[in-house]
Every structure is written in structure tokens, then in C-alpha cells.
Structure 1
């Protein structure tokens, strides 16, 4: 078996690769569009090829147009009858990870098992398809697992009205950095808790802030949230992906939690995007973060899919 990225003249073959099963695959049209946008690339599209030249498994990694390395694995499929899928897929992922590390990537890309239906845990065919992918990812070093909801607000849905309970203002980077540090304390977000277990609060705050500064959204959208008397309450970071306006980052400082202020913060983000004419606002939250999921529901967001995310442990 040979594991390798495709050549530049093999993109049509990569796009047309037949991928059956209950976990959705990247379609030929989607693959070509992302390739055109440089978010898929030949060197990020890997195959397991047998001695007869047949492609038995495909792994498609995604990155931003200006990324030096891929950010996430979007699609992983093994052809029916090709053997034990977890073992074959694990070898394919390991080969890709090794190549990315040799090129300078500090960590392997995470793996998003995308577009899972809301009831996937009750569907044996989907459970089996997810299980071998999780096993493959773990064998390839992606040992941390989380499940998240993808939600969206669409034009025509009610826009939460400002109540006056919070005042939203601009601030400089140092002020936001301090609020990143404070909001992380006691957070229910799985990724934040893992980061704080692997690094100090200062580094964690700086890395989170750097991520949102690098996102497609505008820095000018960011707002701190205060009570009318000037007491800090939290922050709202409307952001964007390469595809849609996005909720980004939001939170309430520990001493102000439990008062329903997260609804006010989320409402501000929604208003910013809606006022700009957004047709769709996307968001994600962990399935275990029940209060945040409930806030999205109250604000008119609906769950569109579930995702299982696997990634490598963070270096200390």
C-alpha cells in the first residue's frame, strides 16, 4: 500500500472519488470549489493506493487560503471491501501528519467529523461509521474527543432587542486580553478547559485572542460589555468564517454569571451581523455546554448538525 498526496494533474480523480456511507463526503463540486479557493490543495489531499493503482481511501484536509499548513481534516473515507477501515485510515492519517510535521506544522490538524444528524447516536449505521473514524484518529494521535452543535440564525428570524441591561463599547487589545483571561475561569467550554490544563492563563488568553484577530471578521466589531454603572460584565466578539458571519467568542465574567447576561451579549453579536445584512450567522458550542446551547435557542438560532472533533493533546 502506498500513502501519498495527489499530483496537480490528479485533482479530477480526487474530486470524483466514490465515497459511500452515512457520513457525508465532500462532493465533486465542493472539492473543486474549495480547490479553486486554495482551501483544498493537492498536497493536502491524500490517498491510500494499492499495487494496482486503485485509490482505496481518501483524506481531504482544509485550510484557509493563506494557510501554510492544513487546519482540519474535512473528509475521510475508505472504500467498501478495502479491508479493516480503521487500520487503513489510521495509516493514511499518520502519513499525512508526518508530511505536515516535516513541512513545519507544530501539531497535526484536528479532525472534524462533519454534518452528523441530530439523532446520530440512535442510528446504528452512523454510529458504526463514526466509531471506525474515531478509532483511526486516535491511532494517528488525535486522542482528545469532543462533540459540538452547529447552529445558525437566518435572515427573517427575530433579532433580539437591546434591553439596556448592558452597555457595549470599543476597547484596546490589552483590555480585551484581560477579559479573555477572566472569562476562561470556570468556563464550561471543553477547549478552554483543556487549554488551561496545558498552559498558564496568560498564554491561553493570548492564543485565543490571536486566533480571533486572525479570523476573517473585523477587529472593529469587537465590544466589551458593562453594566450601566460601569462594572465589567463580559465581551462580545462578532466574527466570520470564509463562508458566513459567525458568532465568534462571547462570555460573561465569573462574578456576573447566573443573571441571564449571556443573552444580552449574544443579542449584541446577532444585532451587529443582522444590521450588516447577514443572511446567515453560524455558531458552534459543545453539547455539554447546556446553558450556552439554551441561550442560542432563546436568541433564535437552530441546530443544523452535530460534529465530532478529534485533536492531538496540546503541548505543555
Structure 2
């Protein structure tokens, strides 16, 4: 849903203004209005964690339409921002998909902000590789994790994010498998359901545990269909004898070419086929003219992390996901 404008936007924002009494001063929690982006940006922050640690600027991203005023919240004391949170969603989404901008100078205000804002989405905290080795970075990260936890969230998983470039070298195709597009979503859904059996992916396991394996497969398919890249990029992989191996989804999100999904069905695991799938996806994207590819996997998914390393994908950042 696109953000409301004009008078309706003002009504929406006034309805969600919340005041918390404090012995020293009142705490006001509210979404910003259009034109208040610099207010959000006024919070002092050392830019050691989160998007800012990687050179991304909220003002630039907001100007590009990546953050909507009604999904961008602040907590103020005496008109000074002491906590801020921005939720992200795609241009056609009517609900945010992730909280990925969360900073504060007042922990209590930060917790109240997350409790008060009527927005619920996974919190994705981007961190430099090896972030625990730097005391200042570790302290900034842990403060945000603790605040989100106090607001009712919990850590689901830690992840690696990779960025392959042509300078990393293009790995040779192993040549063991045949890859074909599959236009039928029902077939893809069944493959995703099979791939989900015994999956090491924390998000898949979480959804399967809370809503069932069919829901986990459906959620994965819906996310892949949400991506703005062509559906016909997807490939199923087959052995020379015609046995299904799995699925590879080279894709694009709203900013980068990506490896959207790599999955091997249970009966084909143990043969190293995930590497074949990743390499094929890399080749397909490069053949389409890309020079960089973003990908990610759970840190606890050791086999997939080893596949990315073997294929020459360097770790660009780490991430902690809370739900």
C-alpha cells in the first residue's frame, strides 16, 4: 500500500502519537510526516552497526522511496530524537517486511518505541564480519539486540551475507546436471515442500514448526514470486537419468542481483549438488550481464556456507535476525 498523502496522512499520524510520562520529561512516540526525514536523521549515531556501518544513508534511501513516513518512527524527549526505527517494504507492499533501521541514545525509549509502533516485522541487524571481535561494535550490536528482546522479540538466527564480483572469478560448471525452467507454480511448490524436509534453514524450520511444512513452502514461493525479476529465470535441476535434484533461483531484489534460493531434495543430498546449483545460478546471472551478486545463508548451515566459500563468494557482512 502506498503511503497516504495530504490530510489523511496527518490524521493517521496524529492517531498514533503516544506520550509516555517520565519523571524528568515526557516521551513522545510517533511516526514522522513527509518532510521530517531530517528529524529522523538527527539522532547521533557512530555508524558502527546497521545499514549505516556499510555507508548507506537513511536520507538517500528515503529520498529513493525505500522508507515511508508512516513506517518511520521516532521517540522524542523535549523535541529531541532519542530513539528511531524504520521498517522497510517493497513499493507494492501493504505491510513492512523488515525492521532494519533501529538506533537510540535512550534504551527505555527504544523499547517503548518498538512496543508502541503498530508494525510487526522481523528485525534484521546488519553487522561487520567478525563483529564480536571489536568491543565497540559488539557493545552497539548487543544494545540493539537487548532492546529488541526487551520489547518482545527473540533471536532466530545469525547469517552471512555474501557479495560475489567478477573479480572473484567465475567457477566452472561441473556439468553433472541438466537445468530446465519450470513454469508451473504447483510443481515448484511441491519441490519447495520436499526441499524443506530436514532443512537447516532457520526461517524454514521456524515457519514449519509454527504453521506446518506446507505453510513454510508456500511462504518461500510467495517470497520468490514477490521478487521483481522474471519468473522464467528459475531452474529445476535433473540428473542424467532424469531424477530431480533441486531448484536454483537466480533473481533480483529491489537493489541487487541475488541468489534467491538454493535447495536440494532430501534423496539427493550428500553428493555436493548444492555447489552445482549455485554455480549454475551464478553463470545465468553473469550471462545476463551482472557483475555483482548478493547471497546469504545461516551461519549454522555449515554445508551451505562451505558451498559459498568453495564457489568464491566472500562474506560481505553478518546479520542477526530477530522475530
SS of alignment partner, residue 70 of structure 1: coil
How many angstroms does 1:193 deviate by? 1.1
Find the partner of 1:59 among 85, 105, 108: 85
Distance apart, 1:16 and its partner CA: 4.0
CA–CA distance in 2 between the matches of 1:22 and 1:208? Answer: 32
- Other-structure match for 2:96: 70
| CA apart distance, 1:163 | 2.7
Q: Report the Cα distance in structure 2 between the residues aligned to 1:76 and 1:241, rounded to whole angstroms.
A: 22
Give the TM-score normalised by structure 2.
0.86
Pick the aligned partner of 1:138 from 149, 154, 158: 149
Structure 1 unaligned blocks of 5 or more: 101-107, 312-316
Deviation at 1:200, TM superposition (A): 2.2
Q: Hey, what does 2:204 align to over in structure 1?
A: 192
Give me the whole-angstrom Cα distance separating, in 1, the residues matched to 2:50 and 2:247.
36
Q: Is it true that 1:15 corresponds to 2:41 in the alignment? A: yes
Cα deviations by residue, 1:124-177 (Å, 9 ceiling, x for unpaired): 222222222112212222224210000011123322222321000112212111
List, as ranges, runs of 4+ consecutive aligned residues in structure 1 with deviation greater than 4 Å: none
TM-score (norm 1): 0.88
SS of match in other structure, 1:272? helix
State the number of aligned residues: 295
Q: How far did residue 23 of structure 1 move?
A: 2.0
Give the Cα–Cα distance (whole angstroms) in 1 for the partners of residues 174 and 37 of structure 2.
Answer: 53
Could you tell me which residue of structure 2 aligns to residue 95 of structure 1?
A: 116
Give yes or no for contact 1:38–1:64 (8 Å, CA) kept in 2.
no
SS in 1 for 2:259: strand
CA shift for structure 1 position 24? 4.3
Cross-structure match for 1:44: 71
Q: Is the 8 A contact 2:40 2:81 kept in 1?
A: no
Q: Structure 2: which 5+ residue stretches go unaligned?
A: 1-26
Counterpart of 1:286 in structure 2 is 298
C-alpha distance in 2 between matches for 1:25 and 1:19: 12
Q: Does 1:147 align with 2:173?
A: no
User: How do 1:152-231 and structure 2 match up within 5 A?
Assistant: 152-171=163-182, 172-231=184-243
8 Å Cα contact 1:169/1:225 also seen in 2: yes
Which of the pair has the greater relative contact order for Cα pairs under 8 Å at 6+ separation? 1
Contact 1:155 1:280 in 2 (8 A): yes
